[in-house]
Amino acid sequence: MTVPRRRLVAGNWKMSRTNDEAVRLVRDLLRELLPAPGCDVVLCPPFTALTEVSYLLAGTPLKLGGQNLHFEREGAFTGEVSAAMLASAGCTHVVVGHSERRQLFGETDPTVARKVRAAIDGGLVAIACVGETLAERDSGRTLDVLAAQFDLGLGGLAAADLDRLVLAYEPVWAIGTGRNATPTQAAEAHRALRARARARWGGAAEGLRILYGGSVKPDVAPGLFAEAELDGALVGGASLLAASFVPIVRAAAGG
Ligand code: PEP
């Protein structure tokens, strides 16, 4: 018998919110989402606000995540943070291989693989992102691109690692553009990724959560979550206001 996967909604604040703004946002969210959000919720503020936000989330079911990490444990890597540093700031999760990291900061599938490994070894849950560009979709290569990103970025993991892995399907053309994948497009990609995961890890892949990310807003969330393949969402812009993030969490929770 397969156990239903509990949905997860993660808010990626990107380079937004000073500490004072972060505190206000978290207070707004907690007012609406406590005592029980109805699904798992992870907030990913900028590094500078992690500790402050961790104090506010302590004792609540909401979790804290970083937006990136370095794969080394420590050393002369100016501007970088390690898994242990994120954990010590209260993080349980970390986003890895976001398309903005890939496109703007030169991350590749091999570096994603090293970062996912470092996150898991450091006791964090890696939220690993994959997704095709518009040119790749338009030329009919979406599923090949996803398969390659999966194999190169995640293929080295063992079934035992899966309780520390969440996958996020984020079509690059839908991130921050106001353009969504349709529920059908998202579900097709999720099915392909799940098939890849089953081929790699067998039955252990049934528990792997696959999130959708790309301009998820309150108006489109119910349609996306009508697809059983979607185990939640990675939300950028709409995670910056309680008025838009809370309805997405509620839609993921099924109400
Ligand atoms: C993201 O940052 O992962 C994202 C999906 O952003 P947005 O929701 O703004 O498209």
Using the predicted structure, report yes or no on whether residue 157 has a pLDDT greater than 60. Answer: yes
Cβ-in-10-Å burial (0-12, 13-18, 19+) of 78 comes to: exposed
CA gap 154, 40 in Å, rounded:
23
**Rg of the chain (C-alpha set):** 17
- Tell me the per-residue pLDDT of 74-133, one tens digit each, with 9 for 90 and over: 999 999 999 999 999 999 999 999 999 999 999 999 999 999 999 999 999 999 999 999
pLDDT band per the 50, 70, 90 thresholds, residue 4: confident
Q: Which DSSP helix (H) or strand (E) runs through 191?
A: helix 183-201
Instruction: Kindly state the tokens that stand for 214.
Output: 């790309």
What per-residue confidence (pLDDT) applies to 178? 83
CA gap 242, 255 in Å, rounded:
17
* Cβ 240 vs Cβ 49: under 8 Å: no
What is the percent of the chain with per-residue pLDDT over 70, rounded to a whole number? 98
pLDDT band per the 50, 70, 90 thresholds, residue 180: confident
Ligand 1 center to residue 14 CA distance, Å? 9
Give the ligand 1 atom nearest the CA of 233: 5
Ligand 1 center to residue 143 CA distance, Å? 20
| CB-defined site of ligand 1, < 6 Å | 12, 14, 98, 170, 175-176, 213-216, 234-238
Give the ligand 1 atom nearest the CA of 100: 2
Using the predicted structure, report yes or no on whether residue 3 has a pLDDT greater than 80. Answer: no
Query: By alpha-carbon position, which residue is closest to atom 3 of ligand 1?
Result: 236
Query: Considering only CA atoms, which of 75, 74, 122 is closest in space to residue 94?
Result: 122
Instruction: Kindly state the tokens that stand for 102.
Output: 């890939």
Mean pLDDT of all residues in 180-209: 96
Catalytic residue among 100, 132, 136, 170: 170
- Tell me the per-residue pLDDT of 20-76, one tens digit each, with 9 for 90 and over: 999 999 999 999 999 999 999 999 999 999 999 999 999 999 999 999 999 999 999
* Cβ 190 vs Cβ 227: under 8 Å: yes
Residue 219 φ/ψ, nearest 5 degrees: -75, -30
Mean pLDDT of all residues in 7-24: 98
Instruction: Kindly state the tokens that stand for 72.
Output: 């080394």
Q: Is 98 considered catalytic here?
A: yes
